Amino acid sequence: MTFLKKTIITLQKQKEDNDKITMLTAYDYSTAKIMDSVGIDCMLVGDSLGMVMLGYENTLSVTMEDMIHHTKAVARGTKDALVLADMPFMSYQQSIYDAVVNAGRLVKEGHAEAVKLEGGAEFSPHIEAIVRASIPVVGHLGLLPQSLNKLGGYGVQGKGYISAKKLVDDALAIQKAGVCAIVLECVPALLARLLTRILDVPTIGIGAGPYCDGQVLVYQDMLSIYSEFKPKFVKTYAEIGCDMKAAFSSYIRDVKDVKFPAEEHGFKIDDSVISQLNSQYGLER
Which one, of 18, 51, 23, 26, lies nearest residue 229 by Cα?
Answer: 51
Question: Under a CB-based contact definition with an 8 Å cutoff, are residues 8 and 180 in contact?
Answer: yes
Nearer to ligand KIV, 114 or 183 (CB): 183
Question: Under a CB-based contact definition with an 8 Å cutoff, are residues 46 and 86 in contact?
Answer: yes
- Least gap, CB of 86 to ligand KIV (angstroms): 5
| CA dist 180 → 12, 117, 140 (Å) | 8, 12, 11
Question: Under a CB-based contact definition with an 8 Å cutoff, are residues 229 and 207 in contact?
Answer: no
Nearer to ligand KIV, 41 or 47 (CB): 47
- Least gap, CB of 161 to ligand KIV (angstroms): 25
Strand locations in 186-226, DSSP E? Answer: 203-206, 214-217
- φ/ψ bin of 76: left (φ > 0), alpha (ψ from -120 to 50), beta (otherwise): alpha
Nearer to ligand KIV, 46 or 188 (CB): 46
Summarize as ranges the residues that interact with ligand KIV (CB under 6 A): 25, 44, 46-48, 86, 183, 185, 206, 216, 218
* End-to-end alpha carbon distance in the chain: 52
Nearer to ligand KIV, 57 or 254 (CB): 57
Catalytic residue status for 185: yes
- Least gap, CB of 164 to ligand KIV (angstroms): 20
Packing angle between helix 189-198 and helix 161-177, nearest 10 degrees? 30
Active-site entry in 113, 118, 128, 185: 185
- Least gap, CB of 51 to ligand KIV (angstroms): 9
Q: List active site positions.
A: 185
